[in-house]
Structure 1
Amino acid sequence: MEYRLLGETAVKTSAVTFGAWAIGGWMWGGAERKDALDAIHASVSNGVTGIDTAPAYGQGLSEEIIGEALKSIPRDRVQIMTKYGLRWDLKKGEFFFDSKDNAGNDIQVYRYAGKESIIEECENSLRRLGTDYIDLYQIHWADNTTPIDETMEAILRLEEQGKIRAAGVCNYSADQMKTAENTLSLASNQVPYSMVLRDIEKEVLPYCIANQKSVIAYSPLQRGLLTGKIKPGHQFGEGDTREGNRFYTEGNIKAINRFLDELRPMAETKNATLAQLVIAWTIAQPGITVALVGARDASQAIQNARAGELQLKSEEIQYINNKLSGLQLT
């Protein structure tokens, strides 16, 4: 496993990091609590030190499960990354979308990053996580009702108080990052990035490379599509938000599976799965510091961690890129 610094901070974390959205259940169907705990412990035992979560993931459940796991893991052995700025318990700020909690109750999600809300969210996260500091604290989505400088001033206070070690953002544009940098130094931007979704290469990634900001890539497996396990005719479970997404049309699933078939021989020669090969490609891309990968149980966690040990030669990366250039999605 390779360990990388986040931006110009002292926070160093594993290139493959545990993404804890799925274990919170919300929009993913969840996982058995014991399986989720086993997944976290297996990740750490196999070299993963970063754990990324958010209050919204299960409306606190993901953080609570991580907090339980931390009781038997030395705190300085892991880097906890969590977020703020999505409220389901407060109708304030910018309405985001309607949803349901894990019990099936209707909730409304708002983007809100006002100062007092951030202070409250931080205290709630610290309590759920059972820790007295957060390694990387990230705004989940931009809140257009609150000036960015107000938000970042609150984060700067938390940093000065020792409650967070580094400040990050998620889903920010390059211009939004520039504005935030007027108040404090950002460590990172967490954004969607995969072989088939590379929008950040236009502006965000060049900005981050030029300014020594880390890029934390979420959904590097395109929510399972790049594992090769989703075939034409796949039936998604009730509430699965992938159904109807543009990547999951019959035509695109067929095209992506044809592309993956061309990678299978390379994966086999490395005794790796397609998913491991895709993850290894992701963290080998210029400017990509971390790939977030979810796991519901120990076996998945171990497989993900092993992707961090997979080394790709420059000609192998070029071969993959050449095949990608011929992939046509609708």
Structure 2
Amino acid sequence: MEFRKLGTSDLEISALTFGAWAAGGWMWGGTERQEAVGAIRAAYDHGMTSIDTAPIYGQGLSEEIVGEAIKGIPRDKVQILTKYGMRWDLAKGDFAMKSEDTKGIKIDIYKYAGRESIIKECEDSLRRLGTDYIDLYQIHWPDSTTPIQETMETVAQLIKEGKVRQAGVSNYNVAQMQEAEKHITLVSNQVPYSMVTRGIEGSVVPHSLEQNISILAYSPLERGLLTGKIKPGHHFNEGDHRAGLPVYQPENLEKVNAFLNKIKPLAEDKHAALGQLVLRWTIAQPGITIALVGARNAEQTIQNAKAMDVQLSQNELSFITEELNKLELPK
């Protein structure tokens, strides 16, 4: 496994980091706890020592599963990345969405990053994770009702107290990053990025490169689409959010699979799965420091980790990008 430093910090994260959203089951049609624990332990065993989670993932369940999975592992051998700023138990801030918790109970979710809320969330996360510090603490989504200064100064205080090592943001645009940088040393921005979601290349990537802020790419496999295993007509479980996404509509599925068929011979030549080739391409892109990749079980985790065994030349990377640039997806 390759390790990369976040921003100007000394915090090193595995280039492929385990994304624990699906482990919480929320918006993924449920979860099997022991399989999720096994997936995280397999990640650690195969060099993916960094784990990204959040309280909202299963309303605490994902963090609890991460805490269970890392029991017995020396704390300095694993890096815990979690978030704050999405509340399902407090009606304050920006209304985000209506949803259901993992038991089917309706909940309203708010983006809120006020001082007292962050302090409470941090304590709750530490308890669920079974640790006394968080390696990277990230605001989950911007909150327009709270000044960024208040939010960042609160996290800076948590760093001083030793409860947090480094501060990051998630889903921030350039202007929001610039404001945050006035009040804290920002080491990362976690944003969506994949072969079919490349919007950040316009402004977020250039700014991040200029300011030495790492980019953590989430959904690099586009929630499974870029593995080549999801074809037109695919049936999703009830509660699986992917069914309604534009990129999963039949016409787009056909176009994406046609593109994947063009690069599949290269994967076969490398004795690699399509998903492994895609991950290798992703972390080779300018500004992309880390790719977050989830798994439902140990087998999927091991397949993801083996992406690091794939070696791509500059010509091969260019070939993939050239084929990708021909792909046009209707909105």
TM-score normalized with structure 1 length: 0.99
Aligned partners of 2:299 and 2:161: how far apart in 1? Answer: 39
Aligned partners of 1:189 and 1:160: how far apart in 2? Answer: 21
Mapping of residues 9-28 of structure 1, within 5 Å: 9-28=9-28
Aligned partners of 2:128 and 2:248: how far apart in 1? Answer: 35
**Identical residues among aligned pairs (%):** 61
Q: Which residue of 2 aligns with 1:272?
A: 272
Aligned residues: 330
1:41 correspondence with 2:41: yes
Q: Give the CA deviation at 1:249.
A: 1.5
Runs of 4+ in 1 over 3 A off after TM superposition: none
1:56–1:86 CA contact under 8 A, matched in 2: yes
2:208–2:287 CA contact under 8 A, matched in 1: yes
Q: Which residue of 2 aligns with 1:125?
A: 125
Aligned CA-pair RMSD: 0.7
Q: Which residue of 2 aligns with 1:186?
A: 186
1:73 correspondence with 2:73: yes
Q: Which residue of 2 aligns with 1:97?
A: 97
Aligned partners of 2:76 and 2:295: how far apart in 1? Answer: 22
> Is 229-238 or 287-296 further displaced after alignment?
229-238
- Long gaps (5+) in structure 2: none
Equivalent position SS for 1:243? helix
- Long gaps (5+) in structure 1: none
1:243-270, Cα deviation, whole Å (9 max, x unpaired): 2211011111001001000111111111
Aligned partners of 2:145 and 2:26: how far apart in 1? Answer: 25
1:115–1:150 CA contact under 8 A, matched in 2: yes
Aligned partners of 1:75 and 1:125: how far apart in 2? Answer: 15
Q: Which residue of 2 aligns with 1:302?
A: 302
Q: Which residue of 1 aligns with 2:210?
A: 210
1:144 correspondence with 2:179: no
Aligned partners of 1:31 and 1:310: how far apart in 2? Answer: 30
Q: Which residue of 2 aligns with 1:292?
A: 292
Aligned partners of 2:68 and 2:56: how far apart in 1? Answer: 18
> Given residue 120 of structure 1, which amino acid in structure 2 is its aligned partner?
K
> Given residue 66 of structure 2, which amino acid in structure 1 is its aligned partner?
I
Mapping of residues 120-269 of structure 1, within 5 Å: 120-269=120-269
Equivalent position SS for 2:222? coil
> Given residue 62 of structure 2, which amino acid in structure 1 is its aligned partner?
S
Aligned partners of 2:228 and 2:304: how far apart in 1? Answer: 15
1:69-108, Cα deviation, whole Å (9 max, x unpaired): 1212111111100000000001111111000000000000
1:87–1:112 CA contact under 8 A, matched in 2: yes
